[in-house]
Amino acid sequence: MTREILYYQDNHLTTFTSTVEECRKEDGRYALVLDRTAFYPEGGGQPCDRGFLGDLPVLHVAKGENGPVHYTAAPIEPGTDIVCRVDGVHRFDYMQQHTGQHIISSVLLNEGDWATLSVHQGEEYTSIEVESSEISEENLHRVEREVNRIINRNIPVKTLWTSEQEIEKYPLRRPPKVTGEIRLVQIDGVDCVPCGGIHTSTTGEVGLVLYLGQEKIRGHVRTLWKIGERAYYLAKINQQILSQLGSKYSVPSGELLERLELQDREIFAREGELLKAKEELLDFHLHNLRSQIDRKGILTATVQVNDKKFLQNAALMLLEEGCSLLALVNRQGEDLQWIIGAAENSTFEFSQFKSNILPMINGKGGGRGPLWQGKGDSTKDLEGFFQALRDSCGV
Ligand SMILES: [Zn+2]
């Protein structure tokens, strides 16, 4: 039976001595009850403490009938005196999360009657689901500002015990979930709520609260918060990123957005100019090809165009304009792209020439009339390729 619950007496106590009262095997682990403990068991939305019993890491702490139950991987003989250490960084982090949540929940209620429905204290951030389907960002920024004002006022966080009969005397934010003796946590002028968790000693110990954003869940708004040192580190990292971006773009960080918007507009304008220049270049190539069509409407030509769609677009356009047979090759070094096109009324049969002409350019590909296309990787006999095509028409 645990005689002394130390975490309610001193929320900053992390090292203490104790005697093992009970030790039993449970599901492959050992469940220990100490005569006094500062280890907070999981409950009330707050995770349990971490730390060591002697040299044994504490795997979990749960509420038990005889007091908090500490789980370890090895046993300790009952009656043994041990030195116990609570992970103070982890404990303080969750004291900040928990007390910060009290303050945020009370401000949400006072500012807009947005009652807290559920709370999750995660490893990254704390979320608070509220009884509302919509809250504006402006309102939540106002809540954030008021929460930080309360933190700066450094108001004591007091705890007191009362009974079910006496509880009506207190201005509670929500009714108690337990009966009998009830523990109240009170921040004068801010919040009063039944709670068995561990809190900071003053609102000032919460340090800082940053509103991260909101999401919708079950038709309610869930607000997301960075609390305590987590908020400080987020602000620090963001400041470093802004500072680096400011150096990169040679502007104060406050002018970064304006600078990047200007850059976006410049890029958009340049892309427009580039597109126009590309279209003009393609028009030039197309014009050049038209001038090479012979009297019989046959065209064989080589181009160098950095646009994979050019051959197909050009071939379709030239056939439509009256070209009867064409073979175009787009050269990119030794690699080449080829296309052969024939007018609808043409008697040209690609299948009859495929095996003769494609080897001349080491080509592959095929298709269905009026267009056949593919790739190749030899330009040595390009003239032979073109001539073979002309020969096919008896030219
Ligand atoms: Zn609490």
- The per-residue pLDDT string of the chain (395 residues; one tens digit each, 9 = 90 and over) reads 888 999 999 999 999 999 999 999 999 999 999 999 999 999 877 899 999 999 999 999 999 998 999 999 999 999 999 999 999 999 999 999 999 999 999 999 999 999 999 999 999 999 999 999 999 999 999 999 999 999 999 999 999 999 988 888 898 998 888 888 899 999 999 999 999 899 999 999 999 999 999 999 999 999 999 999 999 999 999 999 999 999 999 999 889 999 999 999 999 999 999 999 988 988 999 999 999 999 889 999 999 988 888 899 999 999 999 899 999 999 987 789 999 999 988 888 888 888 888 888 889 998 888 899 999 988 888 899 899 888 877 65
CA of 217 to the centre of ligand 1 (A): 24
Backbone angles phi, psi at 182, to 5 degrees: -120, 135
CA of 234 to the centre of ligand 1 (A): 24
Ion ligand 1, residue ranges at CB < 5 A: 185, 195, 197
Q: What is the DSSP letter of 210?
A: E
Structure tokens at 347: 């008697």
Question: What b/e sequence results for 215-242 when a residue is b if at least 16 CB atoms lie within 10 Å of its CB, and e otherwise?
Answer: eeeeebbbbbbbbbebbeebeeeeeeee
Pairing of strands 4-5, 36-37: parallel
Q: What is the DSSP letter of 11?
A: T
Please check whether residue 52 is in contact with residue 84, taking contact to mean a CB–CB distance below 8 angstroms. Answer: yes
Distance from the Cα of residue 88 to its chain's centroid: 29
Q: What is the DSSP letter of 115?
A: -
CA of 7 to the centre of ligand 1 (A): 13
Q: Which helix (H) or strand (E) holds 54?
A: none
CA of 338 to the centre of ligand 1 (A): 75
Backbone angles phi, psi at 61, to 5 degrees: -130, 125
The pLDDT assigned to 356 comes to 83
CA of 193 to the centre of ligand 1 (A): 7
CA of 19 to the centre of ligand 1 (A): 29
CA of 298 to the centre of ligand 1 (A): 88
> Which residue stretches of 172-306 are H helix?
229-249, 256-290
CA of 309 to the centre of ligand 1 (A): 66
Give the torsion sign (CA, 124, 130, 133, 135).
negative
Please check whether residue 115 is in contact with residue 76, taking contact to mean a CB–CB distance below 8 angstroms. Answer: no
As a whole number of angstroms, the distance between CA 19 and CA 35 comes to: 6
CA of 133 to the centre of ligand 1 (A): 25
CA of 319 to the centre of ligand 1 (A): 80
As a whole number of angstroms, the distance between CA 122 and CA 225 comes to: 10
Q: What is the DSSP letter of 90?
A: H
Please check whether residue 310 is in contact with residue 282, taking contact to mean a CB–CB distance below 8 angstroms. Answer: yes
CA of 108 to the centre of ligand 1 (A): 16
The pLDDT assigned to 333 comes to 79
CA of 135 to the centre of ligand 1 (A): 25
Backbone angles phi, psi at 227, to 5 degrees: -125, 140
CA of 328 to the centre of ligand 1 (A): 78
CA of 192 to the centre of ligand 1 (A): 10
CA of 51 to the centre of ligand 1 (A): 22
